[in-house]
Structure 1
Amino acid sequence: MFTGIVQTTGRVISVKHTGDNAEIDILPAADNYSEEIKTGDSISVNGVCLTVTSVDKGSLKFTVVKETLSKTNLEELNAGEYLNLEKAMTVNSKLDGHLVQGHVDTTGKINRITENLGSHEFFISFSSKFRDFIIKIGSISVDGVSLTIAEITEETDEGIEIKIAVIPHTYQNTAFKHLKEGDTVNIEFDMMGKYIKRIFENNIK
């Protein structure tokens, strides 16, 4: 479980495809970030919960299976790109964001990026089948970052577009500063909303 508060970014050192899986090697930007990380630990990598397979001279290695690749933007990963990293929360962790499982629900496309009074506004679209999981001023995880849906800007039978506002601190300290129009992002909807929808559906049957 994670909070959606990114602790550091990581640069992709290498991506090696072995059969249906991919082996990725990431070097965290923060000094000594990997010191307390050991093999078997869970790390949020762009919002995807992955298991550390080894730690080597500060870099973190992960194996990404076929299903995860097909459902996330890790399938498009290349060496030199930057990702958001967060260690799993503990019982003593502060919950500054919202509860994020690291189980990506879908991917979205960045339609456009605008700058407004120092903040950056990202307009992101995804399938309309997830319409019941979003509300204005509700929580959402985008590439592992806990954010607020500022506005639902478009809603059709085919798709939904939302606007999220990223403050300067978040923009500068996450991989958001490397994103551009047309990029794919990982989306995880608020866990509480998914449970409520499930309970509601069961009660009306």
Structure 2
Amino acid sequence: MFTGIIEEIGTMRSVKRAGHSLVLSVNASRILEDVHLGDSIAVNGVCLTVISFDRTGVAMDVMPETYRKTTLALLEPGSRVNLERAMAAGGRYGGHMVQGHVDATGVIRSRTREENAVVYTIEPERPGLLRYVVPQGSVAIDGISLTVVSADADRFTVSIIPHTLQETILADKHAGDAVNVECDILGKYIERLLLAPREAAPPSRPGGLTEQFLAENGFL
């Protein structure tokens, strides 16, 4: 589990390709402070597992499913990436609950300045994804926890403060660029529960709680 608060920007050291799988090696510093094999690290909002590390960076596998559903396939040596370690138990939620399980990629349709903010309009490439995007709700873009400004049937907007632009790779993103989109997990679970077939309720015991029931079950 992550919070969507980016800890640092890393730089791709190497990208080894084999069909629809990758091994990513990224130069970093802060995330190395307590790194271990098997740790989870979000790279542009995608939860990956550390398979090796040294004093200057970490390496992580990308399987075909992740290759197909995220923007990681677009990375090249020198690419800048958002990095966040999994949240420690007892840590502070500065953003929102982010799983690192990308729902779909999206395309930035516009980038406009509004006084001290920059407003991005994003169109998800997966039809129907906007039903999970709620104005003033949360969404993760390339792993960054953001607040939705507006949403319609095809696209949504987010407004970015100067600090977020400075501390993440959103400053590098312009109209036409692809991003990873992860919607708030709460909406997805609620929908699943509402649409799931209702199990038959167990038959009720006639008479409710009675003295006989208590005696039969050892309470008397």
TM-score, scaled to structure 2: 0.86
SS of 1:13's equivalent in the other structure is: strand
Matched, 1:8 2:2: no
CA–CA separation in structure 2 for the residues paired with 1:170 and 1:204: 44
Give ranges in structure 2 of 5+ residues lacking alignment.
Answer: 200-220
Matched, 1:35 2:33: yes
CA–CA separation in structure 2 for the residues paired with 1:204 and 1:130: 25
Q: Which residue of 2 aligns with 1:202?
A: 196
SS of 2:67's equivalent in the other structure is: helix
* 1:22–1:65 Cα contact (<8 Å) kept: yes
* 1:12–1:80 Cα contact (<8 Å) kept: yes
SS of 1:9's equivalent in the other structure is: strand
Q: Which residue of 2 aligns with 1:138?
A: 137
CA RMSD of aligned residues (A): 1.5
Q: Which residue of 2 aligns with 1:149?
A: 148
* 1:132–1:197 Cα contact (<8 Å) kept: no
Percent of aligned pairs with the same amino acid:
38
SS of 1:33's equivalent in the other structure is: helix
Instruction: List aligned pairs for 1:62-141, cutoff 5 A.
Output: 62-126=60-124, 127-141=126-140
Which one is further off, 182-191 or 53-62? 53-62
Give ranges in structure 1 of 5+ residues lacking alignment.
Answer: none
Superposition deviation, residue 81 in structure 1:
1.1
Superposition deviation, residue 171 in structure 1:
0.8
* 2:122–2:157 Cα contact (<8 Å) kept: yes
Matched, 1:23 2:23: yes
Superposition deviation, residue 203 in structure 1:
6.2
Q: Which residue of 1 aligns with 2:176?
A: 182
Superposition deviation, residue 131 in structure 1:
2.6
CA–CA separation in structure 1 for the residues paired with 2:122 and 2:25: 28
Q: Which residue of 1 aligns with 2:166?
A: 172
CA–CA separation in structure 2 for the residues paired with 1:164 and 1:117: 14
* 1:33–1:58 Cα contact (<8 Å) kept: no
Point out the structure with the larger strand share: 1
Letter in 2 for 1:177: A
Superposition deviation, residue 129 in structure 1:
1.3
CA–CA separation in structure 1 for the residues paired with 2:40 and 2:26: 14
Superposition deviation, residue 151 in structure 1:
0.8
